[in-house]
């Protein structure tokens, strides 16, 4: 796992260099695909250390910290790229990779971690929960893909605001969820997230495209995304206890996340390509959201029952 992380960071550093130069678009595409591939492997490998060095009841806080600080870094790098220079943003990204490589090199490796990585199969007892998890995560993250295609283009004229505020509600929601008492059932907040997403689409349909409207819509939507993301990350953290393959479990969960965003993006692109009015697009998107969110409660119940039975 440690080697996979170091290789992923190293290849990502090398793959970032072509973007400093006006080379062929094909080389940029190849570099981007290669970086995405190895980065996915590196992040999945981090699941091994999440299981080994974080107590079960503390994993949700560790996952929240990772999501919070990574989004703060993204906001800062994004601001530097927009208001100073894209090359400065790229340079800061590479600096972050270098620091990540240094910290990764300092991570200790135990014999248990080596044994877990060397095993080639996921326990049969986890196959059914994993299927539920994949479907659960894909349904949740379809909403994120829809957001990128429906919300963002409508407010692109507010660059001074969208360049930094886009992730603030997400971070705030993560902080709130992270610091909830352990006795509070976080699954109840799924319903809060559902209500926030539906309200955000209704607000998008009724409000104008001003800065105040963006505050309302983005706060509701990204706050809900923060609730959902931390919830399924915590589910994966629990599943690590039931498997000797934390890398595969974590990787499958992350791939389901990306796949859901991709599906949502494709669906949003298809909707917007119809050239219908903004209200009609929102109604279509809201219908999709209602259908997908209606499936979430039974999926969550089944997943939690399966985990408790193991």
Q: pTM for this one?
A: 0.84
Dist CA 68 CA 189 (whole Å) = 18
107: tokens are 């991570």
pLDDT tens digits, one per residue of 253-285: 888 888 888 888 887 777 777 766 666 666 766
Q: Which residue has the higher pLDDT, 128 or 11?
A: 11
Angle at 222 between CA 230 and CA 61, to 5 degrees: 25
Mean pLDDT, to the nearest integer, of 114-135?
Answer: 62
DSSP state of 22: -
Most confidently predicted of 44-53, 103-112, 177-186, 215-224: 215-224
In the prediction, which pLDDT does 157 show? Answer: 86
Domains along the chain with CATH numbers: 1-118 (no CATH), 123-310 (1.20.1250)
- For residue 113, name the pLDDT band (cuts at 50, 70, 90): low
- Average model confidence (pLDDT) across the chain: 81
Q: Over 90: is that where the pLDDT of 148 sits?
A: no
- CA atoms lying within 13 Å on the CB side of residue 170: 22
Residue 1 carries which DSSP code? Answer: -
Would you give the distance in Å from CA 251 to the centre of its chain? 12
Alpha helices in the chain (DSSP H): 2-16, 25-53, 59-83, 86-105, 111-118, 127-150, 159-165, 168-178, 189-206, 211-239, 246-272, 278-309
- Residues near 22 by Cβ (< 8 Å), separated by ≥ 6? none
pLDDT class of 120 with cuts at 50, 70, 90: very low
């Amino acid at each position: 796992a440690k080697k996979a992380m170091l290789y992923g960071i190293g290849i990502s550093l090398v793959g970032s260099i072509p973007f400093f130069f006006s080379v062929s678009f094909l080389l940029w595409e190849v570099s981007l695909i290669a970086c995405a591939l190895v980065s996915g492997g590196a992040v999945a490998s981090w699941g091994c250390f999440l299981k080994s060095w974080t107590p079960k009841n503390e994993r949700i806080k560790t996952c929240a910290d990772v999501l919070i600080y990574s989004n703060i870094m993204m906001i800062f790098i994004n601001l530097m790229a927009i208001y100073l220079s894209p090359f400065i943003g790229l340079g800061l990204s590479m600096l972050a990779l270098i620091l990540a490589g240094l910290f990764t090199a300092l991570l200790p490796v135990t014999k248990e971690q080596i044994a877990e990585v060397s095993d080639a199969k996921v326990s049969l007892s986890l196959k059914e929960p994993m299927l539920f998890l994949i479907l659960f995560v894909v349904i949740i993250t379809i909403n994120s893909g829809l957001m990128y295609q429906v919300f963002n283009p409508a407010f692109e004229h507010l660059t001074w605001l969208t360049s930094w505020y886009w992730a603030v509600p997400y971070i705030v929601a993560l902080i709130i969820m992270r610091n909830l008492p352990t006795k509070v059932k976080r699954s109840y907040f799924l319903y809060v997230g559902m209500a926030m997403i539906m309200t955000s689409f209704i607000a998008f349909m009724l409000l104008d495209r001003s800065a105040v409207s963006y505050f309302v819509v983005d706060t509701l939507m990204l706050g809900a995304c923060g609730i959902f993301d931390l919830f399924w990350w915590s589910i994966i953290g629990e599943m690590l206890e039931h498997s000797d393959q934390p890398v595969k479990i974590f990787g499958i969960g992350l791939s389901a996340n990306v796949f859901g965003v991709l599906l949502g993006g494709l669906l949003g692109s298809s909707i917007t390509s119809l050239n219908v009015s903004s209200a009609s697009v929102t109604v279509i998107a809201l219908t999709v959201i209602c259908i997908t969110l209606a499936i979430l409660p039974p999926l969550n119940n089944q997943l939690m029952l399966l985990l408790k039975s193991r």
